[in-house]
Amino acid sequence: MNDLLELSFAEITVLQPNIAEIVIANGVSVTSEMVKEYHRLLKQNLKKPSGLLINKCNSYTYSFGAQIELGLANHIKATAILVHRDSSVLIMQSIKEMPDHAQWNMDIFFEREPAVAWLDKQLTS
């Protein structure tokens, strides 16, 4: 499959009909509008239920509004975060603990294969 969807700030690779991987460009300050934009793109291009792999291979920041938007897309059933640095774990854990994210089905991984396998399991259960 591996269709590539490009945004001005990120690339999204469709890994399976219902799973996509997003890689945000290095140095970007992600806004709530950017998160809404990629959520719309995923909604239009993925089968439901959908899963998202956020690959944090680059260094970027989230505005407060973007942090809130991350866990709010109801068409995304599960989100796997692929981290490459311990500092990314702390950041993503603090975002997950925001009050609006109580229902956010998110987990953090250091390796890609377990992250995709977890998404598969979440989408079939």
- Closest by CA to 115, choosing from 83, 72, 71, is 83
Q: Residue 117 is part of a domain; what is its CATH number?
A: 3.30.750.24
Confidence of residue 95 (pLDDT cuts 50, 70, 90): confident
Answer whether 52's CB lies under 8 Å from 37's CB.
no
Ranges 77-81, 92-96, 107-111: which has the least confidence: 92-96
Domain that holds residue 72: 3-124
% of the chain with per-residue pLDDT over 70:
95
Count of domains forming the chain: 1
pTM reported for the whole predicted model: 0.89
Confidence of residue 9 (pLDDT cuts 50, 70, 90): very high
Strand partners, 10: 24
Secondary structure element (H or E) that encloses residue 72, with its range: none
Answer whether 84's CB lies under 8 Å from 57's CB.
yes
- Closest by CA to 45, choosing from 8, 76, 68, is 76
DSSP assignment, residue 9? S
